Amino acid sequence: MVFIYRCQLELHDSLYFATREIGRLYETEPVIHNYALCYALGLVDNQIYSTTVAEEHSYRYFCPEQVPKYEEHLTPLNQQGIYVTPARSLNHSSILNTWKYANNNYHVEMEKTQKNIPSFGRAKEIAAESKFEFFVISQKELKLPKWIRLGKWMSKAEVTAEQLPKPKIAEGLFTCTHPLNPLDVMFTNQVISYDVVNMPPVSLIQNVQMRGQYYQVDSIKELKLPARMEYRFRN
């Protein structure tokens, strides 16, 4: 049996992550990657922190290397039959913050300097009270957290989850307006056309026309989500 949860996320702080860097401008796209949502919802924590207490604390509070381990962390969710889609904006606004910093080479490299040259940058963030929508597809019932934290500043966000009526599986040509991770759908569906949302670590696609199996709910005619989505990674 498949359970689909329609989740609404409301920001209680401004949200920042660098989707793109344009000179000194660091811009946040109003789309939240499904990898980030898995970590924020604690779905990855259940896998990582089921080891020893020492390993748990070392990972939570100290990361010895800045190397993503998406495949290692997310593959267990495939085995549990849990999949989280990216989140799209229902309504949002942006704010622009300017920050300044000084040249502190003498602190880092012990160099003598007579100059203290200030520099600056701008961060375009998603403002508080912005709302997003995403879906969680699971082979078992889930209890999702009400409060999560996202982004570089660990911004606080409220999650409201609604379990949808039992979905039906249909097959044929359909359009999914919700953003998708292309690596997770191209092996099970024939993707015909799409718009690209450029963002790391994997660019997303939206307004996707494809052929294959999909979930639909009678009470929400416009909702069509590809079936058999699971986390896949580049070799």
Integer Cα distance of 172 and 184 in angstroms? 18
Domain assignment of residue 217, yes or no: no
Domain assignment of residue 229, yes or no: no
At 64 the pLDDT is 65
Structure tokens at 52: 């020893």
Domain assignment of residue 182, yes or no: no
Tell which residue, 172, 170, 171, 175, has the closest CA to residue 194. 175
> How many domains are there within the chain?
1
Domain assignment of residue 172, yes or no: no
Give the range of the structural domain holding residue 138, as residue numbers without chain letter.
Answer: 3-164
Domain assignment of residue 227, yes or no: no
Q: Which of 3-12, 81-90, 96-105 has the lowest mean pLDDT?
A: 96-105
55 pLDDT more than 50 = no
Q: What is the pLDDT of residues 86-144, one digit of tens each?
A: 999 999 999 998 877 665 555 555 555 555 555 778 889 999 999 999 999 999 999 99
Domain assignment of residue 138, yes or no: yes
Question: DSSP assignment of 145-193, as one string?
Answer: -SEEEETTTTEEEEEEEEEPPPPEEEEEEEEE-S-B-HHHHTTTSEEEE
Q: What is the pLDDT of residues 147-186, one digit of tens each?
A: 999 998 899 999 999 999 999 999 999 999 999 999 999 9
Render the burial of 74-108: b for 16+ CB within 10 Å, e for the rest.
Answer: bebbeeeebbbbbbbbeebeeeeeeeeeeeeeeee
What pTM, to 2 d.p., does this model score?
Answer: 0.84
Domain assignment of residue 200, yes or no: no
Domain assignment of residue 95, yes or no: yes
